[in-house]
Structure 1
Amino acid sequence: MRLRCFFPLAAEDQGRALSALRWPFRDDALLGDLKHGLRVQALDAREISSADERWFLRRVRPYRTDDDTVQGMVVTFMDITSRKRTEVALRESEEHLRRITDALPVLISYVDRDGCYRFNNARYRDWFGIDPSAVQGRRVSEVIGETAFAEIQPLMERALSGETAHFESWLTTEAAGGARCVSAQYIPDTDQRGLTRGFFALVTDVTERRKAEEGLERLRQDNQRNLDELQALLDAAPIGIFFARDPGCQDMMMNQAGAALLRVPPDANPSKSGSHAEELAFRVFHAGHELPPEELPMQQAAALGRTIGGMELDIHFPDGAQLSLLTHAAPLFDDTGQVRGSVGAFVDVSEQKRLEARLRQQTRDLEAINQRKDEFLAMLGHELRNPLTPIRSAVYLLGTNPSPGVDLAWAGEMIDRQVTHLERMVDDLLDVARVRCGTLSLACEEHPLQGLLRECVEAIAPQARKSTWHSPALCRRNRCGSSVTVSVWFRCLPTCSTMRRVTPPSMDRSI
């Protein structure tokens, strides 16, 4: 009845050939299976489908009588549509799952307790150059090589013992073309009784990531080394270097030299624009007046966006000490070209300014010494000319009066005295130390004033011959150099002799 409900079978259809019936099954092999069953007298089964997409398990077996004679074939149909649909859904699910696992950038596999692959996704083709289906049933050591297997074997044993294992390291596999850095996780597969049937392996190739991390680590080390070198350079620099971390220059940092210049701790904020500016004891002056924070070099560089250089600042401390600084400041820009702060270099020029003042004083002293030297040379040149006149007079007398009445001894003594005077002045000229110090001392000796006046008269005898005057006997002594006294009287007597010519006869002719 069920069969009749499935497809119509009229009474007249009995005895007709199967090929003459309107058969609802897609079963072209039925006649062949019947003939084969009659020949071999064995059971034959086949899954067939109907026109309405139903599935049946069709069996063909011999029909035997009581005397075991085969009189025909019995065909049975069992509806397996639900099971078949389940199998189809399962296969579709498996295909879908495989497509998902093949699309993942992860090597996914299932390994049984014997260490053999039972499932592999398409990444095995990319890694090892073999089809995933060819890997199934093969041992892990055969696929990845003995070297790499020796490294992961302890982890596989942990996974097969029911413990999740994870590792990340470099593995050298001949089939994979060399060393790879992999991150792997082995997840055990346990049944309801807690027995481990195998494990799932999720392996990710992190070679590029590891290389990038190693490159970043090298870059970090290089940057750290550069920072250390820069910090050492800043600490060793003999000038103060300051950095402003914001456009308003409210947050600043400095090197050790800068902290020493301003007498603040190295970790303090030295900004006069900051919130703790009132705690800074120093004051900043320029050209005699105190500067407000916005006019300081670093603040101006950040505000104007250009370099401020060559500005001299005077730092005043509460104890009265002062410091002169030559400043240079430049702005700092971010990636967008906006000012993000500034940097300043401050050089202590206090000692330089003191040296410049000393140099100016020394210059003035040298100019004064040079002036005194010129005055001395002018005086010495004048004094050198004075003894020449008596000598010239004595030579004149010796040359013009060769008579026996000429006192040759007197002339010789006068020439000797004047030559001695010349020698003494030449010695003074050669005494460089006395010229530098401007201390030209006079040798003081006691001489009768009458003798000195006589020398003066002798010196100007040629000019005074036309005058008749005499000097009285003077006993007072003079305590200055005879040459200087003679020089003084040498300047006075010609005037006296000239005045004598116009002096009335009633006046005394004596000096």
Structure 2
Amino acid sequence: MKKLSEKVVTGGFALSMLLLSGVGAESYLQVRQLNENRRSVQHTHKVLESIYMALDSVEDAGKGQRSYVFSNGEDAAAREEFWNSVKKRERSLAQVRQLTQDNPDQQRYLNTLEPLIAKRLILLQQSINLVQQNPADQATQTAISKQSLSLHREIESKLQAMITVERTLLQQRSAATDRSVKRALWISGIGNALGFSLLIGIFSLLLHQIREAKRDEVVRYRAEMALQQANDRLEANVEKRTLELAQANLSLQTELTERQLAVRALLDSEKQLRLITDALPVLISYIDSEQRYRFNNKTYEEWFGSSQKDLTGRLLKDVVGESAYQTIRHYAEAVLAGQTVSYESLISYQTGGDRWVHVTYIPDFDEQKTVKGYFALVDDISDRKQTEVSLRQSEEHLHRILQNMPVMLDAFDDNWNLIEWNRECERVTGYRADEVVGNSQVMELLYPNLEYRQRMIQAWRDRGNDYRQWEWEVTCKDGTIKTISWSSISDQCPTPGWAFWGIGVDVTDRKAAQQEVVQLNQSLNHQIRQLETLLEVIPIGIGIAQDPECKHIKVNPAFAKQLGIPTTINASLSTPPKESPTFKVYQNGREMIPEELPMQYAAAHGAVVMDVEIDVVHENGKVVTLLEYAAPLFDEQNQIIGCVGAFLDISERTQLQAALQQMNEALEIKVQERTAELNQVNEDLTRSNQELEQFAYVASHDLQEPLRAISGYTQLLAKDYLNQLDATGQQYTAYVVEGAARMQQLIQDLLDYSRIGTRDLVLTAVDSNAVLNRVLDNLQLAIAESNAIITHDPLPTVTADKTQLIQLFQNLIGNAIKFRRESPPQIHISATWDNSNGRSHRSDPHPPNPEPTDPIPATEVVYLFAIRDNGIGIKPRYLERIFEIFKRLHTRREFPGTGIGLAICKKIVDRHNGRIWAESEPDIGTTFYFTLPQPPTPASSYGSPNPQLNRDSID
């Protein structure tokens, strides 16, 4: 039994020691593995830190270069920062290469990254050198910046790929560390538990044996000492291994915490970038090479109503719509070809509406220099465009107002050079704007007298530019002298570009008019005095009320005598009782209240009161019977402002009737004389008009026959006697034939011009589309020769003379074809209609006929036609002149014609009660506008032609 116990103790002790040794060995191996994993994690963090340092140095180099460029080479600190960043980048990349020697993937990334960084460094150095050598070369600087930005994005992409590789390794090594810790804890715990269990069992068995065999003290002592030593060693090993595991676990926890902080920082950066892009009021997106959205900010939701998640993966064409895609298609193709694109355009989005946008496309290249997508930045500039249009229209309207206002306007610069001269100045002085604007001798032209000019200029300098109605005499182009009243507020209202400016009025005729006014005033005062004298001496009572209620009535001496009151007293009974006179008024024995009195009644009802007999009863009982006439007084707005009354004493009726008869006869004589004068003037005007029409007809009709004879005989002479004439004679004969033909064409055009006013104007419903087709048939040969392209909108049916409307369209379209440039003419005809309510509409072949309840009267509808071409154009100063008869802007060698066509157009439009004008820009084109007012119901004819001339010519 003893031997068996000894064997059990010895075997258990050996087994426990073996188990504890195995646990210690395994713990040692796990601690080494933990240390190795910790070094791997630390190594990965060093690699990440080096890559981040390289990325920061690349960014710092770009910042230093940009700061140096923006400061135009003055910021030396920025250049120093650039070179420090370059050195930092070299150290960082060297450290990354050394740390990743065992990683072939990272080495390959470095092999492709270093040439890119070197290339970008060269570009940045070129940009810095360019600032030092030629800072004004912005185009080259921009090109370098674009190349540098593209390389920076590619470098950043490579570095991000390396960071991704290291993060993957970090995750793998952290997971391996976690597994090693768990395994070490499990093995150590189980081994220690088993070892301690065996030792406790052995210790119990030894104690049992010691109790049973106390005699073997030496063995027990040795066993206790061995057990104590084994226990001490085991505790020391456990404590050592526990400390090592705690240190490894603490280091691992630190590494995990740092990794979590780095991941959280990266997520925060991405979140901040998303917040920034979502807060910007512009569209920011990334579109791949298949034209599909891969990234877009929140502004897309406001424009298209789709969330960011819904837009990802959708085609560009499906999001913006077919119309918008066709507009931006070629720009998208250009950026996918590797070009940076920037443009402004009006785009019709299918859900975002019509918007003026400024767009920038930036290509994104992969490692093989292939465009894998592009960044798109779209900014809504509709408000700015609308503001530009409004400002441009305001400037044009202001210039038109200044040019066409009915007063003279001129402006000078600081050197007394004339820079503004409107149409009223041209009309008054006869000098065109191109003759005086910029002419250094303009003051000598307008004020040729040296002494007068010097006195005027000196007075102007002394007085300044704040004056009213300052009169000076101007010498016109025809030599006449006119008095101009000038006013200026240049000092109070300075105008950019105008040193001083003034407004003038031609008052040449005003002096004579002032003298005439003085004479008229004298005559009027004389008549007033006569009237006052008449009122003083006339035996008729006159009362005048200057207020509508007739509360204050002035009387002449005759009326005051009739009423028994002084002339200074108010004769109205409409005043308060304390202020009214003491007499009373009766009619047929009944006292009349103030409202019934003739003057008050006439003023209140606006009616004339005649032959009203009243009895005026004085305070002393005296009765005066009066016959009263009263009439209201009106102002210029036909408002009642008072009343006048005439009062006749019945006893003096005969005298009063005689006086009134004389006044009526005198008035009738004056009326007859004035009527005779007006009739004579009308007869003179009618005769003069008929004579002018007769002259035009004779000049254009009756002269054709002798001209035809001249032309015919000259042609016969040239044909039969050509061989008998020398070269000079033949040339003169050709001149005669050519002049006769030109004169015949001129007479025919004059005849056409005279017929416009002499023929009856037959108004019917005319389809403008049919008229245009007829005109195009007539001009078919000219259209084919010039390769003209003529388009038109749907045109309305109008009330007009069809023949004259055809002639109007044919003249205007023919002019557009004739006055063309080298390129084929492009002509477009359109029409709109307008009404007095301010509503304007595109051309409608059948606009609605207003019903009786329609708030738009038919008489207010006006059609506006426009004929636009791309011809040679007209200078603005000639736009008013072109409608005058025989006014030509080109020689006959340049463009044939007589200069009557546009005058005929104007006469046709005038006869239709419309307007015609033109707007043009030289070398761009001209647009002719004319209006056709529409009567409520079509009339068969109107106008007053001369019946003697309403006939065709005899050809």
TM-score in terms of structure 2 length: 0.23
In our comparison, the structure showing a higher alpha carbon Rg is 1
Q: Which has the higher helix share?
A: 2
Q: Which has the higher strand share?
A: 1
TM-score in terms of structure 1 length: 0.39
